[in-house]
Amino acid sequence: METLRSGWLTRGDKAKEFELRFAEKIGARYAIAVNSATSALHLALDAIGVTRGDEVLVPTMTFAATAEVVVHLGAKPVLLDCLEENLCVDPAGIEEKITPRTKAIMPVHFAGYPCEMDQICDIASRNGLKVIEDAAHALPTRYRDRLIGTIGDVTCFSFYASKTITTGEGGMLVTHSEPIAKRARMMSMHGLSRDAWDRFVTESRQYEILDAGYKYNLSDIAASLGVVQLDRCEELLEMRTIRANRYYELLQDVREITLPTVSSYARHSWHLFLLKLDLDRLRIGRDDFLRQMNDRRIEATVHYRPLHLNPYYQTVWGYTPEDFPVATDVYERILSIPLYPSMSEQQQERVARAVRDIVEANRK
Ligand SMILES: *Cc1c(COP(=O)(O)O)cnc(C)c1O
């Protein structure tokens, strides 16, 4: 309400405040508020100099956004297979995909579980690659003693409606690098030489166009929501963690499903809670299982159809199901069940009951 009443609806000091608080929370030097994580990923690749003819390594097990921005810059998305255990990128498959044109790798902290960052950063530094993290699921995920956002060259967060904190639509680009931060900020505002903050402070209306940029800034209305949501970040995590633990209690004895595994070095954000079906023990496939959940009015869904199983990546980039055997196989077995901070015990019990009933009725 303060923002609405102030009349300063965008390009004012709320977005700046959100950036400063976010950088402080993560322990990063620079944070740039933008209108989506997709925009942040696009700016990140531009800022490290990805251009026509380059290659960027992207896990196939991700949402459309991670790879499409590579294509927008005229580069090739070179896909990577995942680990069966946590659906994060398999570090063992990275090096064989590196060529002289490879510029970067984009780890995705799947469902909010951290990728093997020590191994990934080691491969990147030995091969001169930048690390651009897609952390759309990963606030506030921790890898060993570090928060996600303090490890790679650039980390991109999402504040889309379904993510762990939200501004409706929104994102944040975080980096330790001053040149990357400067380039990303400039390109986020039409490639202009000054941002709104400078103008506000100096009262100067002068600017120059330095490059053909984008319109990717976050409004002050959205940033106001972000400031308040950020304050609740740890509280919301605790609420999700309690509910994740409750699912373990309710479901861990069901032999036909596998629950997520979490190593001691990881703090999961619990953005998503995935089940893996043991299809050898069931008479139905995942799609049938999902339909039966949905018939019970439970919004289970699939995250995600791997990129290489989508028409665009098959027809334009020539990928086939056999290229990534782990992702192809695990895709047939995964489903996500509802998990959100305000979910009641009764609601979780109803979800668990549905899973048990469907398993019961379709056991081999
Ligand atoms: C949601 C999501 C994005 C995109 O986030 P937006 O803020 O909607 O642009 C990118 N990557 C992954 C893995 C996501 O889940």
- Mean pLDDT for back-to-back runs of 10 residues, the chain (364 residues): 94 95 98 98 98 98 98 98 98 98 98 98 98 98 98 98 98 98 97 67 73 97 98 98 98 98 96 98 98 98 98 98 98 98 98 98 96
Question: What is the spatial distance between Cα 130 and Cα 104, in angstroms, rounded to a whole number?
Answer: 5
Check: CB of residue 116 under 8 Å from CB of residue 266: no
Separation in Å, CA 326 to CA 319, 330, 331, 332? 14, 6, 8, 10
Residue 163 bears catalytic tag: yes
Check: CB of residue 229 under 8 Å from CB of residue 237: no
- Does 69 sit in the ligand 1 pocket, CB within 6 Å? no
Coil vs helix vs strand at 175 = strand
* 272: region left, alpha or beta (phi > 0 left; psi from -120 to 50 alpha): beta
Q: Which atom of ligand 1 is nearest to the CA of 137?
A: 15
Q: Computed from CA positions of residues 133, 137, 139, 144, in that sequence, does the dihedral angle turn out positive or negative? A: negative
CA of 95 to the centre of ligand 1 (A): 26
pLDDT computed for residue 199 by the predictor: 52
DSSP 320-362: -GGG-HHHHHHHTTEEEE---TT--HHHHHHHHHHHHHHHHHT
Question: What is the spatial distance between Cα 228 and Cα 17, in angstroms, rounded to a whole number?
Answer: 11
Q: Computed from CA positions of residues 73, 97, 150, 21, in that sequence, does the dihedral angle turn out positive or negative? A: positive
| C-beta atoms surrounding 349 within 10 Å | 12
- Does 35 sit in the ligand 1 pocket, CB within 6 Å? no
Instruction: Indicate which residue's Cα is closest to atom 2 of ligand 1.
Output: 136
CA of 166 to the centre of ligand 1 (A): 12
- Does 65 sit in the ligand 1 pocket, CB within 6 Å? yes
pLDDT computed for residue 206 by the predictor: 77
- Does 42 sit in the ligand 1 pocket, CB within 6 Å? no
Report which of 338, 268, 313 is spatially closest to residue 61, judged by C-alpha positions: 313
- Does 79 sit in the ligand 1 pocket, CB within 6 Å? no
Question: What is the spatial distance between Cα 329 and Cα 1, in angstroms, rounded to a whole number?
Answer: 49
- Does 36 sit in the ligand 1 pocket, CB within 6 Å? yes
Q: From the candidates 103, 163, 182, 364, which is the catalytic residue?
A: 163
CA of 353 to the centre of ligand 1 (A): 31
Q: 62: number of CA atoms within 13 Å, CB side?
A: 29
Coil vs helix vs strand at 155 = strand
Sorted by sequence, the CB contacts under 8 Å of residue 79 that are 6+ apart come out as 58, 59, 60, 67, 307, 308, 313, 319, 323, 324
Q: Which atom of ligand 1 is nearest to the CA of 40?
A: 9
pLDDT computed for residue 350 by the predictor: 98
